[in-house]
Chains A and B, each alone.
Chain A
């Protein structure tokens, strides 16, 4: 009995060690490809930045730019000059290439009918896509939050910060749900939770906007109903904003 237990344990340990031994080369190949291409990308990025700076690339772009392209870039690029943008694109392309080569090497280290390659390889691809989704979602959330904040402040809304946070969390919740769905984690629980949370945030924002805009709505109703119906007293001329100012 003891010998059988010992035999079973040694056999299972041997199988596990064999699987780990067959898994490790692929993992090392993946990490090596990523690290190597990252280093190459960093070097390429630095070289590109030096070359473009020496060529005064930014100044040439500013002088000869297509106004439509410039307007598009101005609308979306948040920071940095074209030189830095190109250098960063080159760096991240190399990192992405490293991941692709690494995943391909990881796949090549297994036979086509190996269990690990059937499950792990697609998961790595999904994980990469999920990371990109998360990054884009964060960028969009920050951009939209700032846009809403500035727009609400210029519209003299007192709850502008609340509105901005609401929009930001709406986008982040949506992004999180998409990432989890992409990774196939949670299933219907995530879908239900997202629906409840998203709906709750939208309802909260609607109530905030509706309750905060009562004066605007009542004045709008006054105008459509006509002079006979006055729900609120008219604002004295001295207190009206911007009536006598001509900015242009």
Chain B
């Protein structure tokens, strides 16, 4: 297990002296045809916590899962189907409220939330989570998934480098579908989640890594090889992209007072995950889409981006698809400028996020070309993260003095 504590611990989490096993919450519902997967999960959990009684909460009808209850000391708890979020597999406000209520109801010391396809978790990984929550008493345990070069692209492009640069945290997946949480961390997240649920925004996303960093909680990253991630329910990239980025930018805006003070003391130790080599991907269609967007959205981008960034985009728009590479510093500045525009409401926020989508696809095309040339997606990912860290001062300066001349 790779561990990296991102913040100094001011108050350690409570250490359980009795049953150290956390409350397991399976956030994805199981239909009757998924009984095999549920049995696999329960078997893996029993293997990870040998000889301990486990409480496993799952959504759905209790009678459907009655036959799946293992005799290995697992107490299967069901919670109402209406509480299940519709933005699966991403963890939403509903999931955190449900987990917090179950944690309080069953008086558990910690909680392990497992998302869709949790049967792909190896027992050793679950045991590592157990070790992190009980023995190390961390507040947040985040998995490090082993994804392919063509997977988790939004995370590689925006979520990971942004979270790392602004909050000084190292977890590779700030929006993981599986989390290990201490009681105090989950209660803190539940307070934010209830605000969304009471406003009828059950599908609102929360950012546990940012929340833990702001609260100076301890964060640990757990290697999770072999874990496969389910695809989002909605196949509309534009809608999901706007949903996730809108939530992230709102969260960044709300925590401005915190991340402006965070200093990156030393380069973060990179967790280089070797992904299996994949066939080269033809990025020509994405480059063509970017060139179309450049021809039509230039006036919108000109409202958001400074002249230097526009010049950078002009240069790469003229590149042939085989040589299409977006400099990491340009990408970092583009994201920071869009965050600023989101904060200052330069244009309608829905339009702003829609205008970012073609730029993201341009980055994806560039990323694929870099992988084809250099062969290491993790190296490029880390280079992007370093670029975000290097340009953080630009974001801080423009956030504080938005009217200052900015070429």
Judged by a CB distance under 8 angstroms, whether B189 is at the interface is: no
Judged by a CB distance under 8 angstroms, whether A214 is at the interface is: no
Residues of B within 8 A of A247 (CB): 152-154, 237, 240-241, 364
Residues of A within 8 A of B292 (CB): 153, 156, 158, 160
Which 7 A-B pairs have CB atoms at the shortest separation, nearest pair first? A68-B199, A150-B354, A246-B151, A74-B349, A67-B199, A241-B285, A78-B348
Contact, CB under 8 Å: B253 / A76: no
Additional pairs, 19, CB under 8 Å, beyond known A247-B364, A248-B90: A62-B253, A63-B254, A67-B195, A75-B349, A79-B345, A146-B300, A146-B347, A146-B348, A147-B350, A150-B351, A156-B289, A238-B282, A239-B282, A244-B278, A245-B281, A245-B364, A247-B237, A248-B152, A248-B240
**Interchain Cβ contacts under 8 Å between A and B, 5 examples:** A67-B199, A80-B345, A81-B345, A160-B292, A247-B241
Judged by a CB distance under 8 angstroms, whether A71 is at the interface is: yes
| Known A-B contacts A71-B201, A246-B150, A246-B152; A154 and B354 likewise in contact (beta carbons under 8 Å) | yes
Point out which of A146, A152, A154, A247 has the most chain B C-beta atoms below 10 A from its C-beta. A247
Residues of A within 8 A of B282 (CB): 238-239
CB distance from B59 to the nearest CB of A (A): 21
Contact, CB under 8 Å: A245 / B349: no
Interface residues on B, range: 35 or more
Contact, CB under 8 Å: A246 / B357: no
Q: In the assembly, what is the distance between CA of A70 and CA of B246, in Å?
A: 12
Q: In the assembly, what is the distance between CA of A49 and CA of B168, in Å?
A: 36
Contact, CB under 8 Å: A78 / B347: yes
Q: In the assembly, what is the distance between CA of A248 and CA of B364, in Å?
A: 13
Closest to B238 in A: A154
Residues of B within 8 A of A149 (CB): 296-297, 300
Partner-B contacts on A (CB < 8 A): 62-63, 66-71, 74-81, 143, 146-147, 149-154, 156, 158, 160-161, 238-239, 241-242, 244-248
Point out which of A78, A154, A158, A245 has the most chain B C-beta atoms below 10 A from its C-beta. A154
Q: In the assembly, what is the distance between CA of A67 and CA of B281, in Å?
A: 40
Judged by a CB distance under 8 angstroms, whether B200 is at the interface is: yes
Q: In the assembly, what is the distance between CA of A90 and CA of B201, in Å?
A: 31
CB distance from A55 to the nearest CB of B (A): 17
Residues of A within 8 A of B201 (CB): 67-68, 71
Residues of A within 8 A of B285 (CB): 239, 241
Contact, CB under 8 Å: B254 / A154: no
What sequence of 0s and 1s flags, for each residue 277-309 of chain B, a beta carbon within 8 Å of any chain A beta carbon?
Answer: 010011001100100110011001000000000
Q: In the assembly, what is the distance between CA of A71 and CA of B247, in Å?
A: 10
| Known A-B contacts A77-B348, A239-B282, A248-B232; A153 and B358 likewise in contact (beta carbons under 8 Å) | yes
Q: In the assembly, what is the distance between CA of A124 and CA of B354, in Å?
A: 42
Residues of A within 8 A of B147 (CB): 246
Contact, CB under 8 Å: B254 / A62: yes
Closest to A84 in B: B345
What sequence of 0s and 1s flags, for each residue 345-385 of chain B, a beta carbon within 8 Å of any chain A beta carbon?
Answer: 11111110011011000001000000000000000000000
| Known A-B contacts A62-B253, A67-B195, A153-B358; A74 and B150 likewise in contact (beta carbons under 8 Å) | no
CB distance from B33 to the nearest CB of A (A): 24
Q: In the assembly, what is the distance between CA of A62 and CA of B351, in Å?
A: 20
CB distance from B204 to the nearest CB of A (A): 6
